[in-house]
Homo-oligomer: A and B are copies of this chain.
């Protein structure tokens, strides 16, 4: 939390006899914020504006000149203007020739224009060296110095030297420049701040869909069925009992879906006999969002744990237990300890605890700062070996929990099996396929293929 202190530290305004003057076109919100920050970091700043009246909002140490005059004073010009007004730059083309133009603009929608703003700028002023930068930082963050979110500034441009100059400025402002290559990357950089968790979209939509399905499924089996046949009102199951059925089911299915694409990829590679042909697009996308799928599964597993641990403090459960005990006491019954039951109950709980524990470990190692400190061998060990162990434990937990009910007809209401039976389908398929794939007759060729060997070298187009 001391990260911010670097921003609040006193930065001298006049240490910069060696720093080059920077010109900013546009005295809007972002232009002013950037200018302030640059002056703090020791850069002389000149504003280029239509009206050269100094407003009270413009940093005091900055000059305000006409566009042409301002541009002549500096080798680097930051264009803090919206794309619609870029046209005013065309008459200045001569003055801007050979200068570094920094495009900081953002759009309102993803892919709003066919070409990126930076490429548009490069086309309008062909003699200038256009660099895209600073669009991922907000004016507010620059002003307040509370850079809680990312300090990364994506930079791209066709001229390596111009890019280097801009990256030095970024660094001087206390931000982290990231070279993204040529101006072709500008479109993606401009879309970046508009994105809202793009990698999470599929996992979250999938889990919402599955949640809705299993919610109505359990509602029919656990609330509507007893209401119709036994005239019992279990509507309060909606609060805890049904969520506590949905969560483990989703956690298990999503966890299995994390490992399914790896197994499918292995089968495809074995079938093709090479690793050099691209996977189908859906498989590629699926593989890229495995981490997100796993984390959503972990969220459901955590909710399942919480829902399970509160069972004994639920008023319904307390009522059920006490009425059982009272009826036993009144009938003078004393039940002996059923060791089989104790074994079953304890072992499915223990399997669940161990599975959840490993799952949390997997989640912790997927934190960026942890996975950065791990080499490839260790990363693969955790995500593959420990991951499969987690899947095995969680599947076993579900099997032991419900094993005895598989053959009992009372667990099929309206021919609908219990939800956890459905949840076992995907994990069992994954585990069986994986089990087959570790047989040496399949594992050996697969390993060779992954090391670059090809069965039919002529196959590759």
* A396 interfacial contact with B, CB 8 Å: no
Known A291-B148, A326-B329; contact A315-B334, beta-carbon cutoff 8 A: no
Query: In the complex the two chains form, is A312's CB within 8 Å of B313's CB?
Result: yes
* A418 interfacial contact with B, CB 8 Å: no
Of the listed stretches A6-14, A96-104, A209-217, A434-442, name the one at the interface; the rest are far from the partner chain: A6-14
Query: In the complex the two chains form, is A314's CB within 8 Å of B346's CB?
Result: yes
* A87 interfacial contact with B, CB 8 Å: no
Q: Which of B10, B308, B311 contacts A184 (CB 8 A)?
A: B10
Known A181-B41, A318-B321, A349-B240; contact A357-B306, beta-carbon cutoff 8 A: yes
Q: Which of B343, B347, B373 contacts A368 (CB 8 A)?
A: B373
* A15 interfacial contact with B, CB 8 Å: yes
* A54 interfacial contact with B, CB 8 Å: no
Interface residue count on the A side (C-beta < 8 Å): 144
Query: In the complex the two chains form, is A328's CB within 8 Å of B322's CB?
Result: yes
* A51 interfacial contact with B, CB 8 Å: no
Contact with B along A191-211 (1 / 0, CB 8 A): 011111111100000000000
What is the CA–CA distance of A91 and B366 in the complex, to the nearest angstrom?
47
Query: In the complex the two chains form, is A236's CB within 8 Å of B18's CB?
Result: no
Contact with B along A315-333 (1 / 0, CB 8 A): 1101111111111111011
**Secondary structure call for the A interface:** helix
Of the listed stretches A61-69, A153-161, A252-260, A419-427, name the one at the interface; the rest are far from the partner chain: A153-161
Known A328-B322, A342-B316; contact A2-B367, beta-carbon cutoff 8 A: no
Query: In the complex the two chains form, is B376's CB within 8 Å of A193's CB?
Result: yes
Residues of B within 8 A of A356 (CB): 306
Known A4-B199, A239-B343, A306-B353; 12 more pairs at CB < 8 Å: A2-B195, A3-B368, A9-B189, A136-B376, A137-B376, A149-B378, A150-B375, A196-B377, A197-B381, A240-B350, A323-B335, A367-B370
Chain A contacts to B: CB under 8 angstroms: 1-6, 8-12, 14-16, 18-19, 28-29, 40-42, 56-57, 136-141, 144, 146, 148-152, 154, 158, 160-161, 171-172, 174, 178-185, 187-189, 192-200, 233, 235-236, 239-241, 243, 276, 287-288, 291-292, 299, 302-303, 305-316, 318-330, 332-335, 337-339, 341-347, 349-350, 353, 356-357, 360-361, 366-379, 381, 450-452, 460-461
